Structure 1
Amino acid sequence: MTTGTTDGGELAAVQAALAAEHAAVYGYGVVGGRIGAGRRAEAQSAYDAHRARRDALSRTVRDLGGKPRAAAAGYELPFPVPDATAAAHLAAELEDRLAAVYADLVRACAGARRKEAAGALREAAVRSVRWRGGGVAFPGLVERAAAPAPSGSAGASSGAL
């Protein structure tokens, strides 16, 4: 187990969180284009939060002596998003994936970075519940056997959400 020192494990975990936030910003762009008017403000708020986290993680990577990973030109969506229902499902999926990445970051860091990662994990779990309408027992620990297989893909192909 990583002890939270500024070794390659911590930098790798921060880079992974940065990559996940890049994907979330892209994904929320899709969500915002398909979500109904009643949830548009919620989508905008999540989009803004993920942009802020992305920017903070870029600074953290530099503080750790690394070069922040750039966002991909586009990302492959896990399933088609033709309507508001699918957009809400995508938002929940994005938050679930972020929770998993932040759980890894909590394990890799110590001190203030661990506290920040735990806060990001909590926020992702709360947003997931809001989008899905229900929660999971341990946010960030994906139950792969219960996860539905994607029914197809849509979008650009430089990265995966």
Structure 2
Amino acid sequence: MSENARTRVGKSEAEERERKAAEAALRAEHAAVYGYGVVGGRIAPERRDDARAGYDAHRARRDALERDVTDLGGTPEPAAAAYTLPFAVPDAAAALRLAGALEERVAAVYADLVRAASGQRRADAASALREAAVRAVRWSGDGVAFPGLAERSNSAKESGKERPASPSPQD
């Protein structure tokens, strides 16, 4: 194989990894938008503005990722009608925990996109990772040294494999 052919193959593999990471981030954003709808319905009145800001941020990121997936040659997956939440959300305290969990899971997929992307898309993914980490701390009161990576290592220790980065669609 010529050097030029190897470069093309390497480039197409990198583009495929980037597209798949962008698609995973889009799925996570769809789930986050859904999850914030649940949060908004249960959160205490004094945190509703925070919930609205998170919801709006995830909608904007979702819309940008739909464009990115298209630009990368993919077809953006539509949102599911509903998603399975990681736990029941009967009250404001559970809504607070859910918001933190959503942000931690979104941070994990953006860490993957940072790794797979280049240029402006990498910068945008790093910004999204940082924003999700800040929101996670605001919701949970806890931070981690390496946002987006702690979720991977904790779940790997617990189960021997990575957990899904976002709540799964309901069947």
Q: Given residue 142 of structure 2, which amino acid in structure 1 is its aligned partner?
A: G
Q: Within 5 Å, give how 1:51-130 maps onto structure 2.
A: 51-130=59-138
Q: Given residue 115 of structure 2, which amino acid in structure 1 is its aligned partner?
A: R
Structure with greater Cα Rg: 2
**C-alpha displacement of 1:6:** 5.8
Of residues 24, 47, 67, the one that matches 2:32 is 24
Q: 1:44 to 1:107 in 2, by over 3 A?
A: same
Q: Deviations over 1:100-132 (max 9, x none)?
A: 000000000011000000000000000000000
SS in 2 for 1:33: helix
In 2, Cα distance between equivalents of 1:112 and 1:8: 17
Q: Which one has more relative contact order, counting CA pairs under 8 Å at least 6 apart?
A: 1
TM-score (ref. length: structure 1): 0.87
**C-alpha displacement of 1:7:** 1.5
Equivalences, count: 149
SS in 1 for 2:90: coil
**C-alpha displacement of 1:66:** 1.1
Of residues 17, 20, 28, the one that matches 1:9 is 17
Runs of 4+ in 1 over 6 A off after TM superposition: 2-5
Q: Deviations over 1:1-35 (max 9, x none)?
A: x9898621110000000000000000000000000
After superposition, the CA RMSD in angstroms is: 2.0
TM-score (ref. length: structure 2): 0.82
Indicate the structure with greater helix content: 2
Of residues 147, 151, 155, the one that matches 1:139 is 147
Q: 1:4 to 1:126 in 2, by over 3 A?
A: farther
Over the matched positions of the two proteins, sequence identity in percent amounts to 63
Any stretches of 5+ residues in structure 2 without a counterpart?
1-9, 160-168
